[in-house]
């Protein structure tokens, strides 16, 4: 297995070809984003006189700064709330074996199957009645509940595989259950928390349908909605659109490449949940 044979070389070349296939659209994306709209040569030919004008123009005209701030706000608040409430809820659900506990857990798991399209339309009405429509708080509220089933599912799976001995010792030493949770269990939950953090952040940041519904008609936007609006407005000026796409992708990819190990492990970690 450790020899580097001719077959390994062939495999290496095939895999690099696959990676180039993945990279090709990204090459075109950047190539067209730095191209002045007067340049109409083939999209795969490297741009002869690259410019950054498209970026400044896209940033100003698409009000992408505000959208970026909203996306950050909504994602940060939702993820913090979801992780806090879900880990607290998962603890009794994983530890108490009474019938009500099992029943409640099944009810939560039902949420994994319900597509959000079913809830989102009636909730639209509720949000309007509450006056939250068109504000980022509607999104925070929605995601905080929407992501609970999946997050609880991750935590319960992890907790059930965790030995109880440490908590039992803490309880014998006079901790209340809440203290035992905070001081003993919580530190042990770090791996699953990383997984839950990564998956929830990506899900909330990338969601398009919900802000499309709950923010429509308002000046508030998240990044995906701002991009969609931008494409609709500048539909023929693809160089400008591509600059906007690059602006929206860049922060995500920077974070990804900086934290790639934790992020990939986070995604793979769902496996053991």
Restricted to residues 189-208, the positions that interact with other proteins (CB under 8 A) are: 202, 205-206, 208
Q: Nearest Cα to 71, choosing from 195, 201, 194?
A: 201
| Smallest separation (angstroms) from other proteins to the CB of 102 | 14
Name the DSSP letter for residue 121.
Answer: H
Coil vs helix vs strand at 11: helix
Instruction: Please say which residue, 170 or 225, places its beta carbon nearer to other proteins.
Output: 225
Using alpha carbons only, give the angle 56, 203, 59 rounded to the nearest 5 degrees.
5
Of the candidate spans 53-61, 161-169, 181-189, 224-232, the one that interacts with other proteins by CB under 8 A turns out to be 224-232
Residues numbered 228 to 247 that lie near other proteins (CB under 8 A) are 228, 231, 238, 241-242, 245
What are the structure tokens assigned to 239, written together?
Answer: 């160089």
Distances (CA, A) of 181 to 81, 87, 171: 17, 10, 10
State the angle between helix axes of 223-233 and 64-95 in degrees (0 to 180), rounded to the nearest 10.
140
Binding to other proteins by residue 224, rule CB under 8 A? yes
Q: What are phi and psi of 261, to 5 degrees?
A: -65, -50
Map residues 44-83 to x or -, x wherever contact with other proteins holds by CB under 8 A: x------------------------------------x--
Rank residues 170 and 227 by Cβ distance to other proteins and give the closer one: 227
Footprint of other proteins on 99-158 (CB under 8 A): 104, 107-108, 110-126, 141-142, 144-146, 148-149, 152
Interface with other proteins, residue 254, by CB under 8 A? no
């Amino acid at each position: 297995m450790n020899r580097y044979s001719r077959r390994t070389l062939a495999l290496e070349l095939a895999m690099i070809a696959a990676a180039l296939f993945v990279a090709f659209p990204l090459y075109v994306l950047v190539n067209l984003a730095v191209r002045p709209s007067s340049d109409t040569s083939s999209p795969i030919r490297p741009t002869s006189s690259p410019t950054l004008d498209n970026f400044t123009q896209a940033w100003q005209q698409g009000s992408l700064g505000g959208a970026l701030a909203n996306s950050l706000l909504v994602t940060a608040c939702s993820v913090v709330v979801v992780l806090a409430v879900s880990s607290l809820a998962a603890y009794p659900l994983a530890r108490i074996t009474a019938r009500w506990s099992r029943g409640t857990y099944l009810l939560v798991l039902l949420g994994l199957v319900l597509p959000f399209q079913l809830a989102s339309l009636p909730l639209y009405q509720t949000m309007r009645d509450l006056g939250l429509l068109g504000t980022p708080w509607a999104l925070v509220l929605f995601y905080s509940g929407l992501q609970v089933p999946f997050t609880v599912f991750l935590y319960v799976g992890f907790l059930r595989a965790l030995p109880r001995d440490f908590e039992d010792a803490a309880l014998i030493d006079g901790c209340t259950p809440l203290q035992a949770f905070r001081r003993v269990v919580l530190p042990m939950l770090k791996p699953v928390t990383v997984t839950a953090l990564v998956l929830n952040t990506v899900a909330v940041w990338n969601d398009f349908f919900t802000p499309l519904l709950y923010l429509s008609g308002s000046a508030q936007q998240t990044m995906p909605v701002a991009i969609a609006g931008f494409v609709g407005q500048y539909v023929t000026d693809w160089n400008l659109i591509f600059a906007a796409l690059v602006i929206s992708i860049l922060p995500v990819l920077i974070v990804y490449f900086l934290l790639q190990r934790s992020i990939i492990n986070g995604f793979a970690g769902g496996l053991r949940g």
